[in-house]
Amino acid sequence: MTTSGVLILESGAEFQGLLRGAPVSADRILASSRQGYGEAVFNTSMTGYQEILTDPSYYGQIVCMTAPHIGNTGVNEMDPESSRPWCAGFVIHELCATPSNSRSQNDLESYLKDHGIPALSDVDTRALTLHLRSRGVERALILPTSERHRSAEIFGKLPRFEGRDLIAEVTTREMYRFEDKGEEKGSHPLHIVAMDFGIKTNLLRSLAAQGCSITVVPASTGPEKILALRPDGLFLSNGPGDPAAAPYAVETIRKLLGKLPIFGVCMGHQLLALAAGAKTYKLKFGHRGGNQPVLDNETGRVEISSHNHGYAVDSSSLPAQAKITHISLNDRTVEGIAIPSANAFSVQYHPEACPGPHDSAALFDRFAAALKRV
C-alpha cells in the first residue's frame, strides 16, 4: 500500500505524489542529511535510469526524470556506473511495477528500497521541470504529506551545497587498479592515472578499450605520488558539486600541467580550467540529459552528447593559452577547452555516453594518440 508524499522546494512550491522506494521521514533526513534531502534537478534522458541513479555526479541531488514512464526495463547487475545509487531521491511520473526485459533481474522500486533511496511517483513532472527551468535549481525534500509542516525546520538545520566539497565524500578511499573483464594483466603498454572525483565505470572501460592500464587514485592524491606511479597520461574524471570547493585537486592539476598529457571530463573539465587560471559559475538549472547539441569549433561538426553538470567554465576568464574547442548550441556555454602548450584538453560532457549517443567516442582516440606521441 502506497502512502501520500510530497516534494517540497525551498521556495515553498510543493508537488504531490506517492512515496516509493525506501522509507523516509523528517527524523531520518535530519539524522543522515543524505537521503530525501538535496538539490532538485531534472534529467531529459529517455532511457538509462539505472546509469543515472548510480552516477556519483548525482550525489546530493533529487533527480526528476522528464520521461513519463520509468522502470519498464527493470534493473540488472550489468548497467550500474558504480557500486550503488548515489542520488538523494528519485522523482517520476509513472512507475512500471512489472518490468519486461531479457536482462532484467529486479524491479526498480525494490532496487531503490534495497539501497535506501526514497522516491516519489505520480508526480506532475512536467510542472516540476517547468518550475525548475523558471526559478532554477532549489534545495528540496521528499516527505510524507503528514510531515510537510517540518520542512522549514529541516531546511534551517541542513547545510547548503554551494562551496561544499562533495568530491571528498564520493572519491575512492584507496588507490586501485581497474581490471576490465577479459583483460590480461600486463598486456597494456600505456598506463593512465585516473583521478577519481566520482568516476563512472564506463569511463574506465572506454579508456581500457584504448589499450591502457589504469590506476585510479583518490581525489586528494598529490602530484608527487601521481608522478611516482610513472604514468603515460592523466585522466580527470566526472564528479559532483562545486569545482571551486576542491582547491587541493586544482593545485595538483596545476603542478602537473605540461608534465603529462591530460584529458578531463565534466568535473575534470572544470578543474582543468581552474588550474589554468579560469573561473567557474553555477548554472541556473544545469545540463542533464542524453540529447544536448554541442558544436566542435575545429571541425564544424555538431555532436549530440550526454551531460550531467550544474557548473560551467566562464569563457571570459580563460587565459590566452587556453582555447575553446566546443560550445553548447542551447546556451553557448563552454563545452570543451584545449591547452596545446600543456598537451591538455577537456570536455564538459560525457563521451562514454552511458546513457546517451556515442557521437563523441573519438575523444578517447584523441587521448590515446596523445599518449603515444609522448
Cα 264 → chain centroid? 13
Classify 167-373 by CATH class.
alpha beta
Enumerate the CATH 3.50.30.20 domain ranges in the chain, comma separated.
3-157
Angle of the 267-275 helix axis to the 247-256 helix axis, nearest 10: 70
- The pLDDT score that the predictor gives to residue 179 is 80
User: In terms of DSSP H, where are the helices of 165-266?
Assistant: 167-170, 201-208, 223-228, 247-256
Grid cell of 328 as nine digits? 553548447
Fold of 3-157: Glucose Oxidase; domain 1 (3.50.30)
Tell me the C-alpha to C-alpha distance, in Å, between residue 196 and each of 185, 210, 234, 305. Answer: 22, 19, 11, 22
Of 51, 266, 269, 307, the active-site residue reads: 266
**Rounded distance between C-alpha atoms, residue 354 and residue 340, angstroms:** 29
**Rounded distance between C-alpha atoms, residue 365 and residue 363, angstroms:** 5
- The pLDDT score that the predictor gives to residue 33 is 81
- The pLDDT score that the predictor gives to residue 133 is 97
Q: Is 266 part of the annotated catalytic residue set?
A: yes
Cα 349 → chain centroid? 10
- The pLDDT score that the predictor gives to residue 210 is 94
- The pLDDT score that the predictor gives to residue 188 is 66
- The pLDDT score that the predictor gives to residue 374 is 66
List per-residue pLDDT tens for the chain, 374 residues long. Answer: 789 999 999 999 999 999 999 999 999 999 988 899 999 999 999 999 999 999 999 999 999 999 999 999 999 999 999 999 999 999 999 999 899 999 999 999 999 999 999 999 999 999 999 999 999 999 999 999 999 999 999 999 999 998 999 999 999 999 999 987 545 444 568 999 999 999 999 999 999 999 999 999 999 999 999 999 999 999 999 999 999 999 999 999 999 999 999 999 999 999 999 999 999 999 999 999 999 999 999 999 999 999 999 999 999 999 999 999 999 999 999 999 999 999 999 999 999 999 999 999 999 999 999 998 86
Q: Is 350 part of the annotated catalytic residue set?
A: yes
Enumerate the CATH 3.40.50.880 domain ranges in the chain, comma separated.
167-373
Q: Is 94 part of the annotated catalytic residue set?
A: no
